[in-house]
Chains A and B, each alone.
Chain A
Amino acid sequence: MPKKRIHPKIARGSTELAILSLLADQPLYGFDIARQIEEKTAGALRFTLASLYPMLYELEKRGWIAGSWQPNQAGRARRYYNLTPAGKKQLAPLRAEWRSFFRALEQLAGVSHA
């Protein structure tokens, strides 16, 4: 059953973590990143082209991910993103930061993460 969609303002803050976590498993291109985020969160988190690409370019600028053109399964050129060593280093502190955030919310408003 699809979950209720999270408000874009709340979702926006989680984009970094969502993208880096997905890319930690395998290189993906933009559309695949958006699709996997939607599938894995049962539709609760949804990134459109407008919200996804500025963040991908921002992460690329920081050196956390790197893009390169490669053919996808259908043989079409797509820009695949890899997590760089600098990006891998960022992932653990980012996860810890979100855990603290949820703990703080739980104490404050009785909100706990799954």
Chain B
Amino acid sequence: MPDWNRLIRERLRSLDLPPAAREEVIAELAAHIEDAYENNLANGMGSSSALDQALNQVSHWRPLARNIERAKQESLMNHRTKQLWIPALVSLTTSMAWMMALQIADSKLRMPWKHAGLAYVPYLVWVLTLPLIGAGCGYLSLRAGSRKAARLAAVVFPSIVMSVIWLVLLVVVVARRTPYPFQILNFVYGFALWVLVPAAALWMGTLFLPPTTGFSPEK
């Protein structure tokens, strides 16, 4: 019995779809060819001609790959929105809004830590609660069927945005040649506090999520 998936995968090499969608198409077309082959055998054909006739349903595989890509394109964009962009924007707005709320509370309320000289408490509260935001956004992305890389990018999106801001800041500071000496250590310290630590905290929230659900017709 031929390896149907391999036969189709070889012929649809040019099919440019994300891995899970691509594997699903290959499995579906392989199942169709398998059914056609068995139907041909049942009609009295020999094994070789049954296979040839089943595969001859497609005279040109490259145009078929293009037609499938075209037919799938918009829904893939929808998937990308659900898997990456929506969780990323939720992660960004939630983490920023939460930080603003903590800062407003810190400035308006008589918080006990002010008298204890603990200026970092709002930041610490923010960082310690970021894994919850990471877990929520990771779950949103996972539920939409994302792979690990897309999920990670969505969850740490606030840190990606912050890293761009910090790099722009670095370029501006270096380009303007301010009279003050550029403090590389301060830059690294700020970068770590606003980019690396939040990214790690957000990422930690995804550790409790189940592994990626790739395509499997047996499910």
Question: Is the CB–CB distance between B32 and A54 below 8 Å?
Answer: no
Residues of chain A contacted by B64 (CB below 8 angstroms): 49-50, 53-54
Complex: A60 Cα to B75 Cα, angstroms: 9
- B8 nearest CB neighbor, chain A only: A49
Q: A30 on the interface (CB 8 Å rule)?
A: yes
Residues of chain B within 8 A (CB-CB) of A60 are 75
Chain A 58-72, CB within 8 Å of chain B: the 1/0 string?
A: 101100000001000
Please indicate the chain B residues that have their CB under 8 angstroms from the CB of A79 in the complex: 24, 27-28, 31, 217
Q: Does B16 contact A (CB under 8 A)?
A: no
Contacts between the two chains (Cβ within 8 Å), count: 63
Beta-carbon contact of A61 and B28 below 8 Å: no
Residues of A within 8 A of B75 (CB): 57, 60-61
Closest B residue to A48 by CB, please name it.
Answer: B57
| Contact A49 B57, beta carbon cutoff 8 Å | yes
Residues of B within 8 A of A49 (CB): 29, 32-33, 36, 57-58, 64
B31 touches A76 (CB 8 A): yes
Residue in chain A with minimal CB distance to B219? A69
B67 sits at the interface (CB 8 A): yes
Answer whether residue A78 sits at the interface, using C-beta atoms and an 8 A cutoff: yes
Q: Are B29 and A53 in contact (CB under 8 A)?
A: yes
Which residues in B have their C-beta under 8 angstroms from that of A69? 217-219
Interface residues as binary, B202-219 with A (CB distance below 8 Å gives 1, 0 otherwise)? 000000000000000111
The answer to whether A50 and B71 touch (CB under 8 A), given A31-B32, A79-B28, is no
Contacts of B33 in A (CB 8 A): 49
User: Is the C-beta of B115 less than 8 angstroms from some C-beta in chain A?
Assistant: no
A102 within 8 A of partner (CB): no
Q: Would A54 and B71 count as touching, CB distance under 8 A? A: yes
Which residues of A approach B to under 8 Å, CB–CB?
29-31, 34-35, 48-50, 53-55, 57-58, 60-61, 69, 76-79
Q: With A49-B36, A49-B57, A78-B31 given, name 5 new contacts (CB 8 A).
A: A29-B31, A30-B28, A48-B58, A54-B70, A76-B34
